[in-house]
């Protein structure tokens, strides 16, 4: 932007492989140099976006994540958070056109693969030019800004061995201390090592991520939504599906410190016809969730060990409404590192790319 701040309204959009995330800044200060036009256009857009919590059939505003009193480019205001499935992009464009949004918006900062894939659609259907940003730059910028703006952004799960006692606690993240690791679990997974505000590298990744969980779970259980998949998993038992160390040893494999309850072979029981006849959709959903999560935990742990970094932040929408995975990640990091590595979670889990993108003109 070369130091030029675009006119309001300010948007940041992260168009991912599964979900599109939209962040909108609503100014709350009384800055006098607002023009009549700006005020009118803003009030139309603001009214529509902030008075509703559902847009069309599949758009949602996450009101619980709204951030008040944030300062961007010397303006004070509220950040609003909206998401919809990327598969609904055509309906989104149509709605935006119908509500006259395009007429009132000059620039939209966009990131994620969809900023490239849908660039022409924005141009042709809304006459909107997307200002494209890199998704990992945006992720880190958004994360650092959010942690610096919100004292209570970060938390961890304590005592995750005893399920009933396992609970969240606020974590004071010293965001100005480096390095730390970010594991972004979206449709796929990226692992980044962050050494400074403008210094990070992508150290690893895996295609076995949140999209894999939802895809496999849909195949195995016939579920239709992520929420349904998580609900099924919450009521299932993965030990009916997975082969444990104790199923093989009769107990633990103590010489190498492997407890009997540890999964030795994910889905290892499913080669048996009898075992297959005994499993429920819930058990299959739970086993899918545990398999994907433990695999991510393994990769995260090895990355942290390799880089000699002990703080690991887990973000991305796979962790939305998903305490089972957060507890598993926390336990795995703690247990296998003898307490030296720490799993940290953030309240705005899936929105950092969109936030960082909105901030791109504030550099």
Kindly list the residues in this chain that would bind ligand ADP in the complex (CB under 6 A): 16-19, 85, 112, 186-187, 210-211, 213-214, 226, 316-318, 320, 350
CB of 351 to ligand ADP, least distance (A): 9
CB of 269 to ligand ADP, least distance (A): 25
Structure tokens belonging to residue 131? 């200002």
Provide, rounded to whole angstroms, the least separation between the CB of residue 24 and ligand ADP: 17
Decide if 36 is catalytic. no
Residue 344's closest CA among 304, 289, 286?
304
Cβ nearer to ligand ADP, comparing 72 with 185: 185
Give 215 or 259: the residue with its C-beta nearer to ligand ADP: 215
Shorter beta-carbon distance to ligand ADP: residue 214 or 359 = 214
Rounded to the nearest whole angstrom, what is the least distance from the CB of residue 346 to ligand ADP in the complex? 12
Active-site residue identified among 135, 153, 282, 349: 135
Length in residues, the chain? 363
Closest-approach residue to ligand ADP (CB): 16
- The CA–CA distances, whole Å, from 122 to 67, 80, 102, 106, 142 equal 27, 21, 9, 12, 24
The least CB distance from residue 339 to ligand ADP, in Å, is 29
Count of Cβ atoms closer than 10 Å to residue 161 Cβ: 11
Strand runs (DSSP E) across the chain, as ranges?
10-15, 19-27, 54-55, 59-61, 67-72, 75-85, 107-111, 129-132, 154-158, 167-170, 180-185, 189-196, 199-206, 243-244, 263-265, 311-315, 342-346
Q: How far is the CB of 126 from ligand ADP (least distance, A)?
A: 21
**Intra-chain end-to-end CA distance of the chain, in Å:** 9
**Beta strands 342-346; 189-196: pairing state:** unpaired
DSSP 259: -
**Shortest distance, position 349 Cβ to ligand ADP, whole Å:** 8
Number of Cβ atoms within 10 Å of the Cβ of 286: 25
What is the CB-side half-sphere exposure of residue 300 using CA atoms within 13 A? 35
* Separation between Cα atoms, residue 89 and residue 285, nearest integer Å: 28
Query: If DSSP codes are grouped into helix, strand and coil, which group holds residue 35?
Result: coil
CA gap 18, 104 in Å, rounded? 27
Strands 180-185 vs 311-315: parallel, antiparallel or unpaired: parallel
User: How far is residue 270's CA from residue 265's CA, in Å, rounded to a whole number?
Assistant: 10
Nearer to ligand ADP, 223 or 343 (CB): 223
Distance CA 52, CA 64 (A): 13
Nearer to ligand ADP (CB atom), residue 116 or residue 249:
116
Residue closer to ligand ADP by CB (options 19, 144) is 19
Q: Any idea which residues carry the catalytic annotation? A: 135
């Amino acid at each position: 932007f070369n130091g030029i701040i675009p006119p309001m309204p300010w948007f940041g959009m992260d168009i991912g492989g599964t979900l599109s995330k939209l962040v909108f800044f609503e100014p709350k200060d009384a800055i006098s140099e607002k023009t009549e036009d700006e005020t009118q256009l803003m009030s139309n857009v603001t009214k529509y976006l902030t008075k509703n919590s559902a847009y069309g059939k599949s758009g949602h505003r996450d009101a619980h994540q709204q951030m008040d009193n944030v300062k961007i480019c010397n303006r004070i205001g509220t950040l609003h958070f909206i998401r919809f499935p990327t598969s609904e992009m055509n309906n989104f464009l149509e709605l935006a056109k119908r509500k006259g949004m395009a007429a009132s918006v000059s620039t939209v900062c966009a990131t994620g693969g969809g900023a490239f894939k849908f660039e022409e659609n924005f141009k042709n259907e809304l006459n909107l030019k997307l200002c494209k940003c890199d998704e990992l730059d945006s992720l880190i910028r958004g994360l650092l800004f959010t942690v610096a703006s919100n004292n209570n952004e970060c938390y961890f799960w304590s005592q995750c061995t005893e399920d009933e006692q396992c609970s969240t606690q606020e974590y004071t993240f010293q965001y100005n201390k480096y390095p730390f690791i970010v594991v972004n679990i979206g449709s796929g997974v990226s692992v980044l090592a962050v050494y400074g505000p403008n210094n990070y590298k992508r150290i690893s990744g895996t295609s076995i991520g949140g999209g894999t969980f939802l895809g496999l779970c849909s195949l195995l259980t016939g579920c239709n939504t992520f929420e349904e998949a998580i609900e099924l998993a919450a009521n299932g038992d993965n030990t009916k599906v997975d082969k444990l160390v104790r199923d093989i040893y009769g107990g633990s494999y103590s010489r190498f410190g492997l407890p009997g309850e540890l999964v030795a072979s994910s889905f290892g029981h499913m080669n048996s016809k009898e075992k297959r006849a005994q499993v429920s959709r819930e058990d299959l959903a739970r086993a899918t969730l545990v398999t994907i999560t433990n695999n991510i935990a393994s990769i995260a742990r090895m990355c942290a060990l390799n880089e000699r970094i002990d703080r690991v932040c887990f973000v991305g929408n796979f962790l939305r409404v998903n305490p089972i995975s957060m507890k598993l990640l926390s336990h795995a990091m703690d247990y296998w590192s003898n307490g030296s590595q720490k799993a940290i979670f953030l309240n705005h889990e899936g929105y950092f790319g969109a936030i960082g993108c909105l901030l791109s003109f504030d550099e």
